[in-house]
Structure formats: C-alpha cells, structure tokens
Amino acid sequence: MVGDIDQGCRDQKTKTLISAKYKDNKSIIFTGFRGDINNILFLTDIFCLPSYREGMPRTIIEAMAMECAVIATDIRGCREEVKDGKNGFLVKPQSPEDIQNKLKTLIGDQTLLKSMKTEGRKIAEECFDEKQVVKRQIDIINRIVRENNEAR
C-alpha cells in the first residue's frame, strides 16, 4: 500500500484499522509517503483506488499514463476516467469483495490485463494530456468571448 493520509484527514481511522488488521501480513507492504511514485507505477500492473470520496483523481491518470490497469470505486471523478471493462474496472464503494474479484480476474487473464494497460495509456494521452486540456479550455473561453462580442 503506497502513500499516506494527511494528519488532519478524517480517514485516519480507516488507515489505523487497515494497518492494525494487516500489520503481520508479510505479503502487504505499507510504504507510507513516497516521492518516487513514477518508479512504483512503472513496476505496477494494476492500480487500485478504493476511495469513497474523490474529485478528479490525478492518481488514476498517472497510473494510466504508466500503463497500469485500474480498479476504482464507481464514484464521481473515477467514473470519468475509468471506462469499465476497457481500461479497468469500477467497483461498488466500500466493497473489498468486488475489488478482490476484479483483481483475480485481471491476474487470471493476462490478455485482458495487457489490453487494459494499453487502453489506459491511450486514454491518458488522448483525454488527459495537460496540453490538450489547456487547449480545450482556451478554445472554450475564446468561443464564449466571441459569442459575447457577437451578441453586443
């Protein structure tokens, strides 16, 4: 588990519960804060964001850019980035069973996993490249200004 929770965050209780439950499990590593996420994602095949509150998560975009398949909760923000069955899976919030089932699906189907990783990279480049996003915003602003000038 990579990352940490801000000290003032209300999710501290969740972090404490997870850490206590799995502290003796040698298969799970709690890295805490890392400044080299790109290196971690480079080594990763599947990125999981089991959040139940998000805006527009940059972490999913970063994971897709590094060719990770994504498992994320079906909430706003995540569902704008993850195309269920195409570049990853959307699961019900607070459903570890759904996450487990989707992980098993991806681990058991390397063809599907590779396809989702490739598609994720494609979506990241086509939809979330910052240069393209800024260009679209500037185009919208220019259109609005033009329309307002024509209306006068």
Could you tell me if residue 71 is inside a domain? yes
Contacts of residue 106, defined as CB under 8 A and 6 or more positions apart, other chains included, come to 45, 46, 69, 71, 89, 112, 113, 116
Which amino acid makes up residue 95? S
Return the pLDDT at 12. Answer: 65
**Can you give the pTM of this predicted structure?**
0.79
Would you say residue 79 has pLDDT above 90? yes
Could you tell me if residue 117 is inside a domain? yes
User: How many domains are contained in the chain?
Assistant: 1
Could you tell me if residue 21 is inside a domain? no
Region of residue 108 (phi > 0: left; psi between -120 and 50: alpha; otherwise: beta): alpha
Return the pLDDT at 10. Answer: 59
Average pLDDT, whole number, for the chain?
89
Say if CB 127 and CB 120 are below 8 A apart: no
Return the pLDDT at 117. Answer: 98
| 12 or 38: which leads in pLDDT | 38
Q: For the segment 53-77, what is each residue's pLDDT rounded down to a tens digit?
A: 888 899 999 999 999 999 999 999 9
**Residue percentage of the chain with pLDDT more than 90:** 60
Would you say residue 7 has pLDDT above 80? no
Could you tell me if residue 93 is inside a domain? yes
CATH number at residue 90: 3.40.50.2000
Could you tell me if residue 23 is inside a domain? no
Domain containing 84 equals: 35-151
Could you tell me if residue 6 is inside a domain? no
Could you tell me if residue 8 is inside a domain? no
Could you tell me if residue 145 is inside a domain? yes
